[in-house]
Each structure stands twice: as C-alpha cells, then as structure tokens.
Amino acid sequence: MNRARLSDVKMILLFLGPALAVLFFTTIYPLIYAAVLSFRQYNLAKPYIPRIFVGISHYVSLLSSGRFFNSLYVTFKLMALAISVELILGFALALLLTQKLRGMRVIRTLFMIPMMISPVVVGLIWLFFYYPGLGYLNYFLSFLNVGPLRWLGGPNVALYSIAIADIWQWTPFVMLGVAAGLHALPIEPFEAARIDGCSKLQTLFHVTIPLLKPVLISLFLLRSIDCFKLYDIVFVLTKGGPGTTTEVVSFYIYREGFTLWRMGYGAAASFIVLAVIVGFSTLFIRTLKAEAKR
C-alpha cells in the first residue's frame, strides 16, 4: 500500500511538476519580485546603482499624486462609457442572434471577428478611421457638411474615441456570454409568463433579465478587470494624450516603469491597482452570491 501511494505521488509530481514550474517562474516569482521591488529605489536605465530600500515612500507618494488619481479616474470613466454600452448592445444582439432564423450562424461568426483580433491591430484599424486628414469618419462627415473632428486630438473627444474602439472589439464577448446564459435558462418561468398573458416586453423585464442577473454581473466584473489592463489601444491611438485625458492607469504604470525608468515606483503603483481590483472583485462576487441565494 505504501509503495503504491509513493508511486502515485511520484506520478502526480511527474505530470504536475512542469506545469507548476512554469506557473512559478511566470506568475509567482515575478509577483514576489515586484512586491520586493516596490519597496526599493531602482532605476532600470542605471542598473549599476544599488537598489536602496525606501520602505513605503513609493506608496505614500502615489497616494498623494494627482496624476495617479487622475489615471484611476480616467480608467473608471472609460469603464462606465464602454461597459455600459457593451452590456446593453451585447444583450440586444444576443436576443437577436439566438432567434432561429436563416443565416444566423454566419452572422454570429461575423460578429465574433472583432473579438479575435489583437488589440494592437484593433488600434491600427481605428487609427485609419480617426486619422485627421485621411480618416474614413471625417470623409463621410464631409458629405454632411460637418467639419473634420479631432477624434484623437480633442481633449473632450479622445476618451470617447477609445471607448468606441473597445466597444467594437468586446461587445461580441458580452453577446456570447448572454447568449450562453439565455440557452441555459429554464423553460418553466417563460411558460408561466405566457399562460399569465404577459407580453414579450413584460417577460423580458420581469423574467429574462432577473434570471440573467448572475451572468450580467459576471460579465461586468470580467470586463471591468480587462479595462484596468487596457493599454494596447491607448498606446496606438493617443499614447495617453492629449495631456493626460486618456492616460489610463495601465499606461501610467508603463510610463513610470519603462519611460521614466522608475521601476520601484511603477511596481508600487501596480500593487495599489491590484488592491483596487481585488476590492472591486470582492464586492461583485458578494453581490453575485447574494443573487444566487435569492
């Protein structure tokens, strides 16, 4: 029995060992290294300078930095703009594309294409649309006698332009999640609503949406976490400009770490953002559990 158990343990380690090693060197070790680095002064451009221990001074400096809080504000504003539209539009498209009509499979496939494209490529595609002189949007607006808009250069428009690109790419993700939730719903509540004489609109608001609340909350949480990681599209389209109007928190961390070479400061900023994400996620997971108990 002991020999059999020992051989089972060896077999488990043999299969799990490579995966655990990859997990350690790609996730756990970088996390620990970044945590240690956040308490030290380290200039990546001058690696020969000793890494001086500075305690929590980076964290104190960040919590009193107006630019850091502005990047958080921009991130939350982008989340509000993009995710609200993605949920509404994704829900509407899911209702439409789950209908049993001819050609729906082809249409579903076409709608999923933006989600499969790299964010950098999405940024380049929308750069062609937004380009001031030769962009497609300004070209079509010229037929309406509307002057060329500064889609990426206007401080009041640039963030909305990034939100439009994000909506175009990630609405299909919400659509797929809602469609999967619609297929998993029980039939009985809908039959009861039909027997009670409820209209389609009443069924939608009083049966479908309440049953889909856990799915919608989960999609909102996933997209919120993705917005905290948004970097590629911002880098391609605006590079955080004009000024700091589109400087999301991930771009702020990149700027501190890999433009100003303040690696310790950037690591500290990333851990503050991690704390915000954990708090945000905990709140929504509790909400999801409360919905499940009802």
pLDDT at 294 over 70: no
* Distance of alpha carbon 25 from alpha carbon 28, whole angstroms: 6
CA distance 275 to 269: 10
Query: Which of 12-16, 161-165, 241-245, 278-282 ranks highest by mean pLDDT?
Result: 161-165
**What's the DSSP call for residue 262?**
B
Residue 2 above 60 pLDDT?
no
| 44-77 tens-digit pLDDT | 788 778 888 998 999 999 999 999 999 999 999 9
> What is the share, in percent, of the chain residues with pLDDT greater than 90?
48
Contact between residue 115 and residue 172 where contact means Cβ atoms under 8 Å apart: yes
Max distance between CA atoms of the chain, in angstroms, equals: 85
The pTM of the whole model exceeds 0.75: yes
Residue 78's pLDDT is what?
Answer: 95
Q: What is the pLDDT of residue 3?
A: 60
Q: Are 290 and 212 in contact (CB under 8 A)?
A: no
For 110-163, write each residue's pLDDT tens digit: 888 999 999 999 999 999 899 877 788 888 888 888 778 888 988 889 999 999
Which stretch, 84-93, 131-140, 284-293, has highest mean pLDDT?
84-93
Torsion of CA 159, 171, 84, 147, to 10 degrees: 40
Residues in the chain: 294
Q: Distance between CA atoms of 251 and 82, rounded to whole angstroms? A: 18
What confidence category does residue 282 fall into, taking pLDDT thresholds of 50, 70 and 90? confident
Nearest partner of 166 among 102, 79, 58, judged by Cα: 79
* Per-residue model confidence as pLDDT tens digits over 211-226: 998 899 889 989 999 9
Q: What is the pLDDT of residue 195?
A: 87
pLDDT at 254 over 90: yes
Q: Can you give the pLDDT at residue 245?
A: 94
- pLDDT at residue 135, as a whole number: 80
Task: Please report the domains of the chain, with CATH numbers, ordered by start residue.
Answer: 56-293 (1.10.3720.10)
Rounded Cα–Cα distance for residues 287 and 294 (Å): 11
- Place 79 in a pLDDT band, splitting at 50, 70 and 90: very high
Query: What's the mean per-residue pLDDT of the chain?
Result: 88
Q: Is pLDDT above 80 for 228?
A: yes
- pLDDT of 33 reads 92
Residue 53 is inside which H or E element, if any? strand 52-53
Give the Cα separation of 206 and 194 in Å (integer). 12
pLDDT surpasses 70 at 291: no
Give the pLDDT score at 46.
Answer: 81
State the pLDDT at residue 6: 58
Confidence of residue 19 (pLDDT cuts 50, 70, 90): confident
Contacting residues for 58 by C-beta, under 8 A, at least 6 apart: 38, 39, 264, 265, 267, 268, 269
Res. 4: pLDDT tops 80? no
More confident: 166 or 133: 166
pLDDT of residue 292: 65
From residue 166, alpha-carbon distances to 57, 120, 185 in Å are 35, 11, 29
